[in-house]
Structure 1
């Protein structure tokens, strides 16, 4: 019988993890280059990268393409307020928060066809909103609206519509109904890249559908947040005269 020997990359990950959790490596600090670390631990760069991948998957280290590996900083929580948008007033007022908004026109995919109840290939206005705190991403929203319903204000950088976009809120007129589905899952490759997440770190994914008084779906939003960074609040409204639910 042979005893299993821990892989070398686990030992390296354990050592770096200890340095991070004890404060020897500070949040935001750049790690030495992969070549330097490989020489320090007397391993190949392949083994070293496996150790870093383990820490990236745990959310302790983030790799920024072209800049290297950094200790993931401890950042403030963000709050998703169900039915209204991602940022509550306190979060939205944070001076370190910045949100980028890009827009384009895309054909409806099969998934979006199902959500918006439009023919496959129909033109949709797509708004991609990425929130950043001190330059680090903490929320991603992709909002889709049938092109004929897209508010011109967003395309023209109208302040009111842009303010809604920066909160990941409903962009068009107030809908009659909002339906939201929340789930915890691993990020897609696009989400992992945009939010700088390891593929083992869960995201809170919310699909939000806005419906007008005539029953038409006027907007679909796909939202993703790092699972360790977000709190979601949903408020249920019940009629005052409703009696207890009978079993």
Structure 2
């Protein structure tokens, strides 16, 4: 037998599909819906989380729950042949915030620096309309370079920070990216307007110089329900022809 929250999710889904609430409309408040269905607020939130994980509803912290346009996805077309990263096929608005932080245990491991080392943090958050699509945190140790602000912040994955490194005379020789899937942290879920039951894709990126020193580290988090990544690579034949 289905749980009570599943029945409520079915009813709310039916109302959305029927057009009772249109895309962009705010749903009644959680206390109102809980009273309407005679359930506790936690039960009602479980029902809303089902719809959030399906991409039908988006929770905007401090504003409420809104009907989201289904099938709204962002495609990141990454062309490795051109050594480009995070090229976006769908136009998004990217906003940047910066801060001076100290390396915690996680960043110490990522950047191969001592805990407490001074880092420049660049936080790129991209939006499609009012919907957040990615958050990228890029770190550069002060021991590597003291950088300013990038003139161009159009790359939602923070690739523009590497332009600053190049200008500062730091040459990136190797870049490694590791992609994993997991559930978001509470902070990530709040930033991306998703439930903690919605899987995210995480790209961990490190860039090293000729001395194998990590000169940049990044953590890019993308909601799994609205993200596509298209990778383009050259064949061995193409590479041999280019070398010849």
TM superposition score category, shorter chain reference: 0.7 to 0.9
Structure 2 residue aligned with 1:87: 87
- Paired with 2:190 and 2:108, the residues of 1 have a C-alpha distance of 25
Tell me how far 1:21 sits from its aligned partner.
Answer: 4.0
Please give the TM-score of this superposition, normalised by the length of structure 2. 0.82
> Which whole-Å deviations, capped at 9, do the CAs of 1:43-95 have from their partners, x for residues lacking one?
3434322322332333322222221111223434231526533233x43xx2x
Change (3 A) 1:56 1:77: same
Query: Does the Cα contact within 8 Å between 2:94 and 2:124 map onto a contact in 1?
Result: yes
- Paired with 2:212 and 2:154, the residues of 1 have a C-alpha distance of 22
Residue 169 (1) aligns with residue 165 (2): no
Query: Does the Cα contact within 8 Å between 1:85 and 1:170 map onto a contact in 2?
Result: no
Tell me how far 1:104 sits from its aligned partner.
Answer: 0.8
3-state SS of paired residue (1:51): helix
Q: Structure 1, unaligned stretches of length 5 or more?
A: 242-247
Q: Structure 2, unaligned stretches of length 5 or more?
A: none
Change (3 A) 1:167 1:57: closer
- For residue 223 of structure 1, the aligned residue among 220, 223, 229 is 220
- For residue 113 of structure 2, the aligned residue among 118, 132, 136 is 118
Across the aligned residues of Structure 1 and Structure 2, the Cα RMSD in angstroms comes to: 2.4
> Which whole-Å deviations, capped at 9, do the CAs of 1:14-47 have from their partners, x for residues lacking one?
1112233454432222111223223332334343
Query: Does the Cα contact within 8 Å between 1:101 and 1:165 map onto a contact in 2?
Result: no
Query: Does the Cα contact within 8 Å between 1:84 and 1:170 map onto a contact in 2?
Result: no
- For residue 34 of structure 2, the aligned residue among 26, 33, 38 is 38
Please give the TM-score of this superposition, normalised by the length of structure 1. 0.81
Query: Does the Cα contact within 8 Å between 1:125 and 1:144 map onto a contact in 2?
Result: yes
Tell me how far 1:146 sits from its aligned partner.
Answer: 0.6
Residue 149 (1) aligns with residue 144 (2): yes
* Aligned residues between the structures: 228
Query: Does the Cα contact within 8 Å between 2:134 and 2:156 map onto a contact in 1?
Result: no
- Paired with 1:194 and 1:27, the residues of 2 have a C-alpha distance of 21
3-state SS of paired residue (1:163): coil
> Which whole-Å deviations, capped at 9, do the CAs of 1:186-209 have from their partners, x for residues lacking one?
112221111011111111110011
Residue 59 (1) aligns with residue 49 (2): no
